[in-house]
Amino acid sequence: MRKARRITAVLLGMAMVAGLTACAGSDEKKDSSAKSNTDEKVTIKLMEWDSGVDNAKTEWEVFLDTFPEYKDKVEIEVITGGSGPIDIMETMRKMAASGEQEEMPDIITCNWAQVPEYYDMGIIRDVTDVYDEHGDEILPGVMSLMKYKDQYMGFPAEVKTKIWAYRKDMFEKAGVDPNECKTVDDLIAAGKKVQEVYPESYIENYTEVAQGYDLYAYFTGNGARLADEEGNYICSSDPGVRDAFEFYEKMRESGVVSTTIQDFSEDWYAALNDGTLCSQVLAGWFTSNHLPNVCPDLAGKWGLALWPEDIAKGSESGAKLMMVNDASPNADLCVEMLTKFCYTEESASALFHSSRGIIPYLKSCAESEEFLVANDYYDVDRMETEFKAMDLLSVYPYTPNSSLEETIIVRYLGEYLSGTMDLDTALKSAEDEMKAQIGNAYE
């Protein structure tokens, strides 16, 4: 199972031997090089996906301002690895296979879906010692999202809590309290009550081109899994997967969700602003910065709640992690800085009060009046909702083949929603394709 890890270790060993051989040629040259680099800044390359580059730059500027001792010796270079974490995964896979160590970033970002494959590749620094030292200070739900099998894989760039954003003004006029929604039927009933007052509004948008993050967030709330613990694909027999497909169809047939508005389209942004979409049963990443940025004129009109009780547990993709490349010559420095970035009160305060509004992950912050305050945009205690959601955190049981699995299951969900396939056919076809293309989920 760790074959890829062993192969990569060999490649790393070859690269290290080559490096030592090159350095052994001249002590004089080595001394000269050391002197010339004494006053130079160390460049730390952090690989992000496109939409996260600017945010990461802002966050690390805040960090360097908070810890000025690093300003003279470290430069953080945020580079793009593609449009998303799957693109970065592909890039890193190729680099590891070819032994291109010098081209690898020092810090790699990924979603939890990619963690099992990175683990098997064997290129990520084990930071268990950090969690052994600071574990008592960190929120338990966050701790659980940083570990895979026997290794702590990295640090939280963003914990993806399940949060329901809703238009307070519209819900109040319709007499709807989202905190009273316990079931999917309650969610639909809430949507119908809103439509009695606002006939052209919807509480969500689910098109035939489904979003993987929506589907897997639902999976974490009902215990669905595409493969069993032995790696055998069970899409057609798993009750949670079937329930998720039926949920989408039930929501679409109810009329309370838009079936034409696609996430991240111009129509989506327009609908969020004009009230056509009056809520989103989504995630913390949407409510933290995205919504305030795309609907700046609606400050004070949006509220926050947990998902309906029956499906509130879990997360959307677990978390976005920052992981350290174990072969980087700057690995120790990266671990040192990331520990301060994520797990010190100084950093937590600076990042929380910055334009990024980063959620703190320390127990002390969850109990501090500094953080439990009304948010300027929502005019409510955003952190109270976030900390409640963190108590419910769990992650889907991703495998080293999760990227391909997601592509397949989302495609067949689309076939079902479009009416091209009935439910049994769609689930069986997804299972058959996973068996044909992958074989065993863990190999």
Residue pLDDT, tens place only, 36-53: 344 689 999 999 999 899
Query: What tens digit of pLDDT does each residue of 203-221 get?
Result: 999 999 999 999 999 999 9
CATH of domain 40-159+318-358: 3.40.190.10
How many other CB atoms are found less than 10 A from the CB of residue 323?
Answer: 28
SS3 state at 280 = strand
* Yes or no: domain 163-314+395-437 corresponds to CATH 3.20.20.80: no
CATH 3.40.190.10 domain extents, the chain: 40-159+318-358, 163-314+395-437
Asked if residue 144 lies in contact with residue 393, where contact means CB atoms within 8 angstroms, the answer is yes
Region 77-90 average pLDDT: 93
Region 412-416 average pLDDT: 98
Nearest-angstrom CA–CA distance, 186 and 178: 9
List alpha helices for 204-318, DSSP H.
212-222, 239-254, 266-274, 284-285, 291-294
Is the pLDDT reported for residue 276 higher than 90? Answer: yes
Selection from 186, 286, 176, 244 nearest residue 409 by Cα: 244
SS3 state at 163 = strand
So what's the pLDDT on residue 14?
37
Q: Which residues pair with 152 in a beta bridge?
A: 147
Query: What tens digit of pLDDT does each residue of 348-368 get?
Result: 999 999 988 888 999 999 889
Percentage of the chain with pLDDT > 90? 76
So what's the pLDDT on residue 39?
63
Strands 319-324 and 155-159, sheet pairing? antiparallel
Strands 257-258 and 204-205, sheet pairing? parallel
Is the pLDDT reported for residue 119 higher than 50? Answer: yes
pTM attached to this predicted model:
0.83
Is the pLDDT reported for residue 19 higher than 90? Answer: no
Nearest-angstrom CA–CA distance, 210 and 263: 9
Query: What tens digit of pLDDT does each residue of 243-274 get?
Result: 999 999 999 999 999 999 999 999 999 999 99
So what's the pLDDT on residue 269?
97
SS3 state at 302 = strand
Query: What tens digit of pLDDT does each residue of 320-358 get?
Result: 999 999 999 999 999 999 999 999 999 999 999 998 888
Banded pLDDT at 389 (limits 50, 70, 90):
very high
Asked if residue 108 lies in contact with residue 325, where contact means CB atoms within 8 angstroms, the answer is yes
Nearest-angstrom CA–CA distance, 216 and 357: 25
SS3 state at 277 = strand
